[in-house]
Amino acid sequence: MEFEDVRDRCLSKAHVTEEFPFDENTCVWKVAGKVFALADIDAFDGVTLKCDPEYAVELREQHTGIIGGYHANKKHWNTVRSEADVPRALVLDLIDHSYERVVAGFSQKQRKALGLQGH
C-alpha cells in the first residue's frame, strides 16, 4: 500500500480535510475537525487509524503488520504497516472503519447537519 492509496481513500470520504498540524511531514485527515487517520508523507511506512478497542486487539493478534497506534492511545488506535502482511482491501476497510468510528462519536444533531445520518 502506498501513501497515495491511503490519501485517496481518506479524501474520498465526506467532510474530510487534510492538514499538517504537527509538522510538514505528518499528514492528518480529519472529518469535521476530528482526526481519523495519520501518516508520514516523507517516510511512509504505514497509517495510524482509530479502531474499536476489541477489534484493535483482534487485528494485532491476526496480523504482525498491525501494531498499537504509533504515538497514539493504543487502546483506540492501530498503526497498519505498509510493507506487512495486511491485504490492501483490509487497509481500505480499516480506513473506512476509522472514519465511521469518528462519525459515530458525533451527536445526532452534528451528523444530521453534516448529512451523515446513516453513519
Give the model confidence (pLDDT) of 95-109 as tens digits: 999 999 999 999 999
**In percent, how much of the chain has pLDDT > 90?**
76
How much is the pLDDT for 85? 80
* Residue 24 included in any domain: yes
How much is the pLDDT for 118? 65
Q: List 81's β-bridge partners, or say none.
A: 46
Give the model confidence (pLDDT) of 35-65 as tens digits: 999 999 988 899 999 999 999 999 999 999 9
Cβ(82)–Cβ(2) below 8 Å: yes
Integer Cα distance of 88 and 48 in angstroms: 15
* Residue 119 included in any domain: no
* Residue 48 included in any domain: yes
pLDDT at residue 117 tops 80: no
- Nearby residues of 13 by Cβ (< 8 Å), 6 or more positions away: 31, 99
Which pTM value belongs to this model? 0.93
* Residue 30 included in any domain: yes
* Residue 10 included in any domain: yes
* Residue 20 included in any domain: yes
* Residue 84 included in any domain: yes
C-alpha cell at 77: 488506535
* Residue 38 included in any domain: yes
How many independent structural domains does the chain possess? 1
Residue 100: give the domain boundaries.
3-114
| CATH assignment at residue 67 | 3.90.1150.30
Cβ(95)–Cβ(68) below 8 Å: no
pLDDT at residue 119 tops 90: no
